Structure 1
């Protein structure tokens, strides 16, 4: 019997939340080691990142590497139509909690960048398989916002997850967008 997406999501969220604080820190460092050498990031200037919550792999070390490399980072903000807007993320960016309790920049302070102008988007995942299928948190925010990537080459979408979030097969839906690759704390999966 096939497990439902909802059951799989619950199981994988528990799996990532079970990681210790030390394991989380170590995973973030290893993720940076793996992604900092990738040409997708080296060749790009406008990169969307996220602030980890609920046990997601933490890209803070990678974010600091990108800032130190002169890259422009952007954070997602949930817009009124449930699409994601992207605001430039600087060390002094004022953050407020969204309806899910996740810090995001205030929309009052700056103008968002169009998602089409991003070059790389680092997407948090709840689960993934080696074929590049992904399971998000279930809100469809990234799927809606980046539906245009079905026919566009940019931005490059790279899913981020702990290696322990890999499963044999993720059930897909017609609205799911494809990743260009998936990076974990132990390797990069090209798609």
Structure 2
């Protein structure tokens, strides 16, 4: 199956989950991620605000704040459609919708942090396989932002997904940046 067809099928799987299933998955995901060594050893952690049926990392954000760690959200550049930045996220952060209708902090370049300064990045994905291949939404933002990882080991990239988004094999593209693992509501795949 090609990437576009697979993306459509897997988005449909995650969108079909009920509100109760989504909430239970988010709570279980928090236990899986926050119990990991990567999380325990990280101070600067980026995540995302769920949309389109993505597994929700909001309980992870609460643990980050409770443990006095720093939480960041991706912010898209409104002028340069290829750039993504990371900005500090706190419970009282004012959010605006980006061009895709996803809530994010209002971009303030003076408040952004370099991707290289992050310890752990919890990434959304559409699908994954046990080899660590990720199928994103197709915009390429994470792949462009973390292309430097070919020559660096930080940050650690972990994809977040519902277990129903796992497939036997993801078609890999040359530009795909590999992850160190994928966390679902059931387990952490390395």
Which band: TM-score by shorter chain?
over 0.9
- Following TM superposition, by how much is the alpha carbon of 1:109 offset from its aligned partner in structure 2, in angstroms? 8.1
Residue equivalent to 2:40: 42
Tell me the SS of whatever aligns to 1:178. coil
Q: Distance in 1 between matches of 2:16 and 2:75?
A: 27
Check conservation: 1:51, 1:102, Cα contact below 8 A: yes
2:76 maps to 78
Query: Any idea what SS the aligned residue of 2:85 has?
Result: strand
Which residue matches 1:33?
Answer: 31
Unaligned runs of 5+ in 1: none
How far, CA to CA, are the matches of 2:65 and 2:107 in structure 1?
21
CA contact (8 A) 1:83 1:142 kept: no
Q: CA RMSD in A?
A: 1.0
> Counterpart in 1 of 2:171?
171
Equivalents in 1 of 2:101, 2:47: separation in Å?
17
Match of 1:181?
181
Question: Structure 1 segments of 4 or more deviating over 6 A?
Answer: none
Contact 1:87/1:110, CA 8 A, preserved across alignment = no
Q: Secondary structure of the residue that 2:111 maps to in structure 1?
A: coil
Q: CA deviation at 1:108?
A: 3.7
Q: Deviations over 1:82-133 (max 9, x none)?
A: 2210000001101000000000000148520011100100000100001110
Partner of 1:10: 8
Match of 2:67? Answer: 69
Match of 1:25, SS state, is helix
* CA-CA distance at 1:66 after TM superposition: 1.1
When normalised by structure 2's length, the TM-score is: 0.97
CA distance in 1, matches of 2:150, 2:159: 16
Paired residue secondary structure (2:112): coil
Q: How many pairs were matched up?
A: 188
- Taking the TM superposition and a 5 Å limit, the aligned residue runs for 1:62-141 are 62-79=60-77, 80-81=79-80, 82-108=82-108, 111-141=111-141
TM-score of the superposition, structure 1-length normalised?
A: 0.96
